[in-house]
């Protein structure tokens, strides 16, 4: 909707540039990795072990997907309890940054976030314009959490919820029960509402 209503020079040249720049800094602050942007989508991962490819492919991960009002999905991927916590705190900081940037430009965009925990494969493909990427059902599930999510809330798979349910000082968790998820069937999911 925003791409039809806002001039492309403003949308890309100022608004998305400011958001992605701020998000890049937050990703570094939380020790995570930005994988790519696709349009207004922003993909983040954590818990990848670059020192040993075999270990990377076998470790447990969490995937995160975020969506902006113009759809700012962010997929992410995490390992142990440290990484799921980092992804949740990144999400919290992203909400705050979007609020700041909305005020700066007098806009009212929202952020929708989806997170899942599970295994992924990471690597580089191609001969030209090399692209580092992550693949796997966990990334797809995170994307489904985002697309079935609610603006200004974080939609969690039950695997991710179990990894972060102790963060009750930062989030209020609500069980959504079983929902139908495209390509996955029924899944029990949770919503996390930021408390600060």
Task: Report, as residue numbers or ranges, the catalytic residues.
Answer: 144, 182
Can you tell me the distance from the alpha carbon of 194 to that of 152, in angstroms, rounded to the nearest whole number?
Answer: 8
Residues in contact with 93: Cβ distance below 8 Å, sequence separation at least 6, in sequence order: 26, 29, 30
Long-range contacts: 167-176, Cβ < 8 Å, 24+? 167/85, 167/88, 167/192, 169/195, 170/88, 170/89, 170/92, 170/194, 170/195, 170/196, 171/88, 171/92, 171/195
Task: Give the residue among 114, 33, 32, 104 at the shortest CA–CA distance from 68.
Answer: 114
Buried residues in 107-120 as b, exposed as e (16+ CB within 10 A): eebbbbbbbbbbbb
CA atoms within 13 A of residue 139's CA, in its CB half-sphere: 15
């Amino acid at each position: 909707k925003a791409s039809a209503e806002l001039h492309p020079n403003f949308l890309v040249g100022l608004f998305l540039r400011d958001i992605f720049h701020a998000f890049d800094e937050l990703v570094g602050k939380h020790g995570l990795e930005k994988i790519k942007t696709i349009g207004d989508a922003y993909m983040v991962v954590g818990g990848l072990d670059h020192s040993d490819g075999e270990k990377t492919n076998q470790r447990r991960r969490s995937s995160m997907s975020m969506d902006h009002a113009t759809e700012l999905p962010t997929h992410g991927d995490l390992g142990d309890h440290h990484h799921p916590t980092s992804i949740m705190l990144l999400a919290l900081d992203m909400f705050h940054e979007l609020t700041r940037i909305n005020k700066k430009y007098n806009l009212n965009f929202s952020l929708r976030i989806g997170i899942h925990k599970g295994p992924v494969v990471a690597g580089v493909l191609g001969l030209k314009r090399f692209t580092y990427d992550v693949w796997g059902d966990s990334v797809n599930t995170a994307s489904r959490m985002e697309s079935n999510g609610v603006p200004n809330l974080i939609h969690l798979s039950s695997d991710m919820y179990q990894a972060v349910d102790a963060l009750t000082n930062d989030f209020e968790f609500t069980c959504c029960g079983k929902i139908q998820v495209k390509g996955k069937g029924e899944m029990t999911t949770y919503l996390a509402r930021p408390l600060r």
